[in-house]
Structure 1
């Protein structure tokens, strides 16, 4: 047997993504390079690890067994590296964070300097919708989650980072009275673009409409904040979006904000963790860093949001 750690890592990515194409993106490799590494690993075994039926890749039972073994092997190798670094006096280990999709415009700024100082830390950050973020936290798969809507059934601790201001957006070509405040009745006519079920932004939008006794005209749903933003810019409809995701588009005049009664909606971005979880040394140090520096991070990177 001459398989390598790199081959195991590539194989794990293929299993997790169920796709060579998606694994290549995850690993920043070309598709042929991933295929070669997968073949080289497969050549070590007489039993198939994967199979392709139609155009879909499936992992065999043996492949799943190897995945779990490989996971343990790579965790032990990582532990050796972390232990070596700790003996050198370096903070080392793995930090796992699950981030609600619009939080991708937030979390990097709270990680940047911490990771710069502590280069022995490996970051695993999953960006997904609110439902999956809460699931990963509930299953104790991550150290922290970044959300704007608190989960109802989990016993958690939280650290508020910054306001999440949600505004009604339109393409640059939409004409309206920019000096006035529109009545909520405007939603009777505007075709709205919604995020998918499970999105925190969608939850807040629906609560707003319910409280205002509005039945909005939903034109269609999209599965990412970027897709919604592009659709609004293209003039396909209107949407309530986080101001944090719009910095460049507002600066370039590609999107405009419509002032409406009851808007903006303001939630908070919160770093949350399970109350009973025993945080690792890395997680505890990150939390201390956040508590000490969060105000400065906001002032340096997000103070511009106060102007809208």
Structure 2
């Protein structure tokens, strides 16, 4: 079957007659007849029954009708997507994200822009609440986050997985040690996120589960400042694996082997429901998913 045949089928289905379908498609009635006959011959069934001057779908016709609309829509979307690539008009995709995105999105967005000509990425980095608020107020097109939230009216797509790890400077005495115990951590200084942070909540849950309540800690609300503090031997910190990976070529950070870590969480993309059909948005979501799969 081809799209001309499916278009003819859909037109007859909508109009209820061959003649009106022909007018709708700006072709002759014999053309509609030929296309439908070829389609019915291929399928080996009758798709319509005549009732006076009108036609109605048979059972087979109703079954085909269930799929044809989606097939034609996909065809239309594919053609439009190809046409969009020919346009010279630049398109901007606005993305809000959290601090984890600082270490993940810049190289990915650069690659996306190189793959999709005339596309520009605008990246806003803040906390989860601000990132989602920007999306809800339609100041951005997408929000890329790692924290679970109440989505309500928003649509979401899981694109990858992050993990919280307990990190130290690579020359810390506990770096490389197998099965670091709670006793080993007793006198360590911890650098922790601010109240309300998902990383802070996950750390506090781990502490509760292990009956470990550190007395020596420093609270910092910026992950980059935490990373720099660990690199300067200030203490240990719970952070995203992506932060540690960003230091891997320098071998400056080490992931400690501690029971209960890593703590896994999903990377998800939030969007307004009407963006689910947007070609550029979906292209970025798929591109992000592919790139994150290589970073896991």
Which TM-score bucket, shorter chain as reference? Answer: 0.5 to 0.7
Structure 1 counterpart SS, 2:275: coil
- TM-score of the aligned structures, taking structure 2 as reference length: 0.62
How far is the alpha carbon of 1:189 from its aligned partner? Answer: 2.8
Provide, for residues 73-113 of structure 1, a one-character-per-residue CA deviation record: whole Å limited to 9, x for no partner. Answer: xxxxxxxxxxxx97962464331111111112222344233
Is 1:290 matched up with 2:288? no
How far is the alpha carbon of 1:263 from its aligned partner? Answer: 0.5
Structure 2 distance, partners of 1:290, 1:165, is 20
* 2:189 corresponds to: 191
Alignment partner of 1:279 out of 268, 275, 282: 275
How far is the alpha carbon of 1:264 from its aligned partner? Answer: 0.8
Structure 2 distance, partners of 1:119, 1:162, is 25
Answer yes or no: is the 8 Å Cα contact 1:147–1:270 preserved in 2: yes
* 2:235 corresponds to: 237
* 1:159 corresponds to: 157
Cα distance change of structure 1 residues 263 and 86 upon mapping to structure 2, 3 Å threshold: closer
Structure 2 counterpart SS, 1:95: strand
How far is the alpha carbon of 1:279 from its aligned partner? Answer: 2.2
How far is the alpha carbon of 1:280 from its aligned partner? Answer: 8.7
* 1:25 corresponds to: none
Answer yes or no: is the 8 Å Cα contact 2:189–2:235 preserved in 1: yes
Provide, for residues 167-219 of structure 1, a one-character-per-residue CA deviation record: whole Å limited to 9, x for no partner. Answer: 11112332137342122344443211012334332232233223434323352
How far is the alpha carbon of 1:139 from its aligned partner? Answer: 2.7
Structure 2 distance, partners of 1:92, 1:296, is 24
Structure 1 distance, partners of 2:201, 2:279, is 31
How far is the alpha carbon of 1:138 from its aligned partner? Answer: 3.1
* 1:115 corresponds to: 113
Structure 1 distance, partners of 2:260, 2:85, is 56
Answer yes or no: is the 8 Å Cα contact 2:95–2:124 preserved in 1: yes
Cα distance change of structure 1 residues 254 and 86 upon mapping to structure 2, 3 Å threshold: closer
How far is the alpha carbon of 1:148 from its aligned partner? Answer: 0.6
Structure 1 distance, partners of 2:276, 2:260, is 42
* 1:136 corresponds to: 134
Matches within 5 A, 1:259-278: 259-274=257-272, 277-278=273-274
Alignment partner of 2:91 out of 82, 90, 93: 93
Aligned length: 214
Q: CA RMSD in A?
A: 2.9
Report the structure number with the largest CA radius of gyration: 2
Matches within 5 A, 1:1-308: 89-90=87-88, 92-152=90-150, 154-176=152-174, 178-217=176-215, 219-274=217-272, 277-279=273-275, 283-291=278-286, 293-294=287-288, 296-300=290-294, 302-303=295-296
Answer yes or no: is the 8 Å Cα contact 1:134–1:151 preserved in 2: no
Cα distance change of structure 1 residues 117 and 170 upon mapping to structure 2, 3 Å threshold: closer
Answer yes or no: is the 8 Å Cα contact 1:146–1:270 preserved in 2: yes
How far is the alpha carbon of 1:270 from its aligned partner? Answer: 1.2
Structure 1 distance, partners of 2:85, 2:107, is 29
- TM-score of the aligned structures, taking structure 1 as reference length: 0.60
How far is the alpha carbon of 1:127 from its aligned partner? Answer: 0.7
Structure 2 distance, partners of 1:184, 1:243, is 21
